[in-house]
Structure 1
Amino acid sequence: MLLWATLLVLASASGQFATTPKPVISLHPPWTPVFQGDTVSLTCNGFRSSSPKKTQWYNGQSPLTETRNTLDVYQSGKYSCRVGTSLLSDPVHLDFTKATLILQTPLSVFEGDSVNLRCLARAGTELENMEIYKNGELLALLGENNDFNIRRASLENSGVAEVQKATEFVTEGQELLLICSVDRNPKNMNFYWYKKRGYLSSGAKYKIASVKNSDAGEYYCRAGSFTSKPVTIKVRVPISQPVLTARTRQTQIVEGQQIILNCEVDRSSPEILYQFLHEDTVLWETKTSSILASFSLTAKHSGNYYCIANSGFGPKRSKVLKLSVIVPVSQPILTFHPAEARTVEGSVLTLHCEDPRGSLPILYQFYREKLLLPRSSTRSDTGASYRFSLTEAHSGNYYCTADNGFGSKRSNTVSLSVTVPVSQPILTFYPAEAQTIEGSVLTLHCEAHRGSLPILYQFYLETSLLDRSTVHSGVGTSYRFSLTEAHSGNYYCTADNGFGSKRSNTMSLSVIVPVSLPLIIFKVPRVPAVVGDMIELQCEAQRGSPPIVYHFFHEDVMLGSRQSPSGGGASFKFLLTEEHSGNYLCEASNVGKTQRSKTVVLNVKVPVSRPAFTLRASGSQAVVGNVMQLHCEALRGSPPILYRFYHEDVMLGNSSASFGGGTSFNFTLTVEHSGNYSCEADNDLEVQRSETVTLKVTVPVSRPVLTLRVSKAQAMVGDVVELHCEALRGSPPILYRFYHENVVLRNDSTFSAKGVSFNLSLTAQHSGNYSCEADNGLGAQKSELVTLFITGPTENRSAVATGVTGALLSILGLAAGALLFYFWFSRKAGERSASDFSRNPSDLNPQETTYQNVPGWIELQPVYINVNPRERDVVYSEVRRNKGENKYAAASRPKILTNEGSPVIYSQVKVACTPASRVQQSATSDPHR
């Protein structure tokens, strides 16, 4: 294989452009060689011209079609270019290689340049490290940076040409070709060949047509100022076939003798590699002109021998020399077949005698107690055997002899004892029952009635060894143990005295295991368990021989029984009711033993039923101001239960009952509390809503107001007076009673909120005190007294009017103070009960806001009203004019007076009607009649 090297050519800068100017090719990337598959872009750098010129590219002598000044190259070749009619550029040789590792150099280097040499591996090649060499010597180890830099290039950095050669060793008569080459070989470079500093010839090649032994030596070449490394050529001379001979002093070759082997060749190079082989295995090897091998023979030296000689031109092998080494017999080995020293009477015994080393043929003889056994002598190539049927008389000592003519040898003595094999043993149980209970003690006894001692007894359960015992005297042996559940199965025993094991018949044992403490568990479709769910009680004893009977109990009352014929647990299913809450346990029974499980508690959750909703007032009726209690209770349902109270679907509040019995919600009644009520029960299992209960809040009647209306300013006999009684507050129906001096005049019942009226034709007897009473069943309320004065015939009316006018003038100041006190008191009362005023009908004209003089008293329409029904001490009576209205219509809308300017005709402050005050009032009023 040719050994190639790269020469780095360093040219001096002087004289670079001494020739006629021509284009110069530059590379991108500026490296060579490159990997196959890569692309190199060549640029033809021409001369500056005012007009562009066409570029012609060449690969060798072949023109290319590309006419641009750049050319992309993909394959190896020698590329050049011409611009217009310029000279052809110097060629650029590009090498696209398949190698996995290349050393890339710049295309050209000048003295003083900074030069990078790049060691590059093909993509996908994994390398641990890279090294760079110059002239065969290591320059540097390259790490992650695969570049090697020469900071300032000089001629010393030029590489040295290496001789390309086929091999350093040539065979006499072969052709030898030496080649001298320099990378980027300049034109017209001369080559010269030398041997040991002597000139041979010129030219890049030096050829020797037929090599002789005298052509061996060192060769080198020179090219310009470069000298290659020397190459050593060695000439090999073929050898003849070697001859192997053996030398010994005796005619027979016996083990232990000395033998000499000699291997020789007739013609060869000065140095030969000799090898001695025995059955293709190398025994010795050495480099010399000839060899003698001397060694002492052993039995392993018998076989085929030959030698090989090699001077570097291929091995030559001698003919085979066969040696047979005679080995005297060694001590023979006597063996029995079967090999036991004790054999059974009646069996066939084979004696075998063999010498492992002695040369054949060998004579073997067998002896018992120094007596030659009849017909035992034999001459054998593979040992000898003696076979016979044993009797008790064959017990004794045996040996054998071997002889191949170089001395007889005797084996060691082997003793033989003929014994009686054991008979089939008998296995028995104590106690003898086939079923025993766990925890009891069982004894196994095994005995062989015949057999030579010692006898090895072994006890087995199924295939597992339980115990073993060797008996040297006596009869049989026993094994005793406490029974567990694992001891159920098949038992047998074996007896063995060395001449065959015998096995007893199999006996079965069933160990009854009393039940263990059972475990009871619930299996429910959900947690917690709810009424209506199907529940499964599972009871299982982890240990216990089947069949097992299971009993299930609830509060010590048996629910049912189940039997498990083949082991495992049992189940009991039932549908849950509320009564199934409580303690549960189970029992497991077998073979007269009963075990009871621990108690487990089951809490059966009951969804709430529809709750019962009741309303309980503190009095006999739902009256404003009374305390109302809402009570909600679900008769069924597992606590805790959350109760919610609703008024018209608006939740009032909630309360949780942890122990049943429902819960209540209290509040003080107002008129707004009338409406529909309900409650809701929720225990996280179900939500139930009660029926709706309607509550009507009853308002007790307030103190009624009695109004007397007449058509004239002064009531006179024959006039008609309207009596109107009205309670401003109170739930209908309301029964009104009218009184004259505590005598009932009339009863009227109404569902209206406007009170009731009736007319009375006045007579002289109608003078006096009037009152009314309102009653809606929650307590009667009586109005303040209103006093009515009835005068005589019409001719006296002027005097009455004058008296009235005088009385009116005399009390104007007092009336003004009374009105101010009334308005203050009414405002305070309104803060306590605004509802009293909201129900009063409007009967006065709001447009009349000032007092007016009355031109004609006879046209006035007086209205008598007790305007302060809430106070019992003072009664304010006023007479107003109802302007622009029908007198009866106006009289039907009584209202407590305000300070909005009603036309007050007269006002009088009266004390609450007592008998004394009435007298005083009558006395005071007389002058005005």
Structure 2
Amino acid sequence: MALATALLLWAHALSLAGDTSLLVPNPAVPTHSRWPRQAGVPSHPRDPQITADPPWTPVFLPEKVTLSCQGPGVSDRTLWHLGGRFWGETGSSHLRVTENHPGGGSFQCRGPGTGLSPPVTISFSNDWLVLQVPPWVLLEGDTLPLRCRAWKDIGVTHVRFFHEQQPLGGPSGGSQLTVSPLGLGHGGRYHCQGSVEHLLAGRQRSRTVTVTVRELFSLPLLHLEGPAEPPEGSPLLLRCLSHPSPLRPPPHLQYIFYRGEVMVMGGPQDSPQLRLPRVALAHSGNYSCEVRAELARVRKRSVAVTVTVRRVPVSGVTLVAQPPGGQVAEGDRLVLSCSVAAGTGPLSFSWHRDGSATPLATGPRYELRTVRHQDSGHYHCAATNGATAATNGATTATNGATAATSKTLRVTVLVPVAGATITMTRTEPSVPVGEKLNLSCSVRAGTAPVTFTWLRDGQKLGWGPVLSLGTVGLSHAGTYHCVATNHLGTQRVFKARSPAVTVAVTPRGQRQQQRGTAVAVGVSVSLVLLLLLGVTVTWHLRYRRRTAAGESRGRDPPAPPEHEGDQRDPPAPPGGEEVLYTHVVATERGVGTPPNRAGTPPESPVTYAVLPGPHARPRVTSDTYENVA
């Protein structure tokens, strides 16, 4: 063993003697440097980075490591820090490190106006077996190469790697192992074991090497801008806050937002913000965000933030009518619209009239295409953002919903005037001078107030439902009309014109003459009627007497006297008694009767019926008369 140690020391001395590339501090540069010391300033993404060749630590004593300072702001003049303290300045961006010049430790560099680079740790070993790892700080997602190496690259067999005393395994017969991708849990102490193919070595175990794994970016924090219980309809802003590591230029990060386990935006995005312009009840839930560095295969998810969206109470319910004011004529179209100033949904609307709890219709719009007179009344609309129950005309929300009603709107349906007519206080169209006359105008239909205008011969004469002409004169004669009018607001006027009524005025004398003429005509007609009645009665009496006389002659006919000529007189009553001639009958002679001597036709025989007059002797029961042929 002592011989092996001596050989190692001798080889180390030879390697130091042959090293001519070591840079030492420039004696012209004071140890405090002309540039401000920035040992405690953390690295910035624009700060320089250090690379090492070979990229391992620890290295064996005879070897050297070249450090290079790279990045923006780095020039040929570079300041170097060792163990957190300024070490010196070099005329280039390179620094060669051996065990003694400047020795192992934690190296940093900076240029004019830059910050310090992340540290690089270089260490030396004179052991038979070392476990070599990268000299810089590793980040999540990096690849960790583990190299189990023997002195002077002597062969090593049966290599095994350990992390925190736990075997990692590895390729059979190999001296390297790669751990990728790194997580924070991969930091810690590593060592390796193997058989060194040297006469004096045998089975060896390396010293423990500490591997530090830093975060590539910090664990994201989901920050809610605004209240955790926003009202419906308000905007929602969530920010996913994560800071990249200052040890490296920032990686390209992507952000995913979740509500529960469902992605909100549909996939990764470059923006760390989630904006929802108007939230609804469905947006309530537990939100979280995930940050991904795809190239490094690193993903981190934030703690969930609970967002509870609250309904906005319904308020400011407004009812608007078209036409404005709710004044319409019968047959018109009426549209009522309901809106709310505030309130979140789903909103529902119902329409009511005259305080009835039973809705006329539902929806934000109520339309009557043809308004009727019975549609008049007081209307209001009710709005709610959930289930409602109607009790005694009041609308009450249930299950946390809210409800509100509008002010009442009076809908007035006007019936246009129609069927105007004129009536007179007299039944006769002719009015005598000096009498009084009133004309009245009425309508069959029409909503009050109704105004009336009177016209005579087309000229306006007066107003009102009754036209009083007073004492009629000749100037009042003419053709009269009345015009009935009602209004809907100030724009619409409805009119109905009555049929014409003609008033004739007669002078008083002409009227008396007309009355006298009428009386004379009446008397004449009465006399004619009396005369006709007398003739009828006389004819009836004579008819009865004639019938009775004919019957008397048949029993005892007297011999009529014969007279010459055309004049025939009835015979004198016997004994000078009073007689009454009741019937004279002329009969034609039979065929073959010769004419008289004068050649004139023979006279027709005359039959007389002689009856005792009223002053003759009393009639006896034997006085029975018949017609005599």
| TM-score normalized with structure 1 length | 0.30
Bigger strand share: 1
Higher relative contact order (CA 8 A, sep 6+): 2
